[in-house]
Amino acid sequence: MSEQTLQAIVKAMVADGKGLLAADESNGNIKKKFDKLGIEDSAENHRRYREMLFTTPGMEKYISGVILFDETIHQSTSDGVSFAQYLDSKGVVPGIKVDIGLMDFEGHPGEQVTKWDETLNDRLKKYYELGARFAKWRAVINIGAGIPSDECIAANCKNLVKYAQLCQANGIVPIVEPEVLSDGDHTIERCYEVTKKTLIELFAQLKKANVDLSGLILKPNMVIYSLEGEKVSAQEVAEKTLQCFSEVVPTEVGGIVFLSGGQSEPESCVTLNAISKLVKEQKTPWKLTFSYGRALQNSALKNWIGKDENKFSSQEIFLHRAKLASAASFGEYTPEME
């Protein structure tokens, strides 16, 4: 796996019509998914599932990079090729989730902060040797009565910035993911307000720390209705999302890749499509695409259920989702394509 500048890696990750597959579910998360479907939770089944996804023929037409979990970057295909090497050979950039999860934010009930990890620098060096060329760190901001607090936003941004500095020092592109959760019944206006506040704090801290924004990717939530709140049109989601970003995201940022945040598979294409259409009209300074976990995998996993005989049909389902997300990133998705 070659040495490249941060900007060259970013360019490959946000290439036209391509986006990222977030396959970085931690062991606790994948266990929950497997348990629901009656799939035995074991390292070997995690490996078989990820192998099914990554060896999908043609995936590389739509997927530019894959976010791996620590266990996964140490695993290999059935032929003994490490997943990182395998993806690289297909022209797909291997990446790694490096945060170690959330903890309660002391003194602030209902709020969480991503745990800091003193071994992060050493781990980044090892991940680079294993082939990772980008990393991901997720912070979670909850919306509720009286939250988020300024302190919670600041503490989460502080860790995101320290992480981004260490990544760049190790030749790894940092994806910074400050996810404003859509749980609850808040309005889209509240999502806009909290997302904007979070991004203002994040970019103020990144600039102060001299992080090279052209060698960094932002992974935000869309400015969207909440899971239990009143839904608004995709057009409104697109308008509010781009309004928010144009107000607070510096033009130098290498790229923006959206998380799906609990949207259904088709819904995540409808909203991305509306955003992409507006991007064309407004000629935004950054490239925007997808970095979906659930919205690329849900149907494929439900079909696979751990059985080899379902491998090819699951790959077809996954490829179809990737193709539609790609179409949405061009603003060329229609529901008839489902």
Catalytic residue list = 177, 219
**218, 27, 6, 210: which is closest to 128 by C-alpha?**
6
Can you spell out the DSSP letters for 111-174?
-EEEPP-TTHHHHHHHHHHHT--EEEEEEEE--BTTBS-HHHHHHHHHHHHHHHHHHHHTT-EE
Restricting to residues 152-181, which ones interact with ligand 5MM according to CB under 6 A? Answer: 179
How many residues comprise the chain?
338
Does 261 bind ligand 5MM (CB under 6 A)? Our answer is: yes
138 binds ligand 5MM (CB under 6 A): yes
User: In the complex, what is the shortest distance from the CB of residue 117 to ligand 5MM, in angstroms, rounded to a whole number?
Assistant: 14
Comparing CB distances to ligand 5MM, the nearer of 174 and 261 is 261
- Residue 298 is a binding residue for ligand 5MM (CB under 6 A): no
Single out the residue of 5, 7, 29, 251 in contact with ligand 5MM (rule: CB under 6 A): 29
Rounded to a whole number of angstroms, the minimum distance from the CB of residue 99 to ligand 5MM is: 7
Q: How far apart are CA 278 and CA 154, in angstroms?
A: 31
Q: Can residue 293 be called a binding residue for ligand 5MM (CB under 6 A)? A: yes
Q: Minimum Å distance from CB 218 to ligand 5MM?
A: 13
Kindly tell me which of 140 and 242 has the beta carbon lying closer to ligand 5MM: 140
CB 79 to ligand 5MM: min, Å: 26
Q: Does 226 bind ligand 5MM (CB under 6 A)?
A: no
Identified binder of ligand 5MM from the candidate list 295, 300, 322, 324, rule CB under 6 A: 295
Cβ proximity of 300 and 314 under 8 Å: yes
Question: Please, what's the b/e burial string for 94-124 (b: 16 or more CB within 10 A of its CB; e: otherwise)?
Answer: bbbbbbbeeeebeebeebbbbeebeebeebb
- Which residues does 24 contact at the CB level (< 8 Å), separation at least 6? 67, 68, 69, 72, 96, 97, 136, 293
Q: Interface residues with ligand 5MM (CB under 6 A)? A: 22, 24-26, 29, 67, 138, 179, 259-261, 292-295
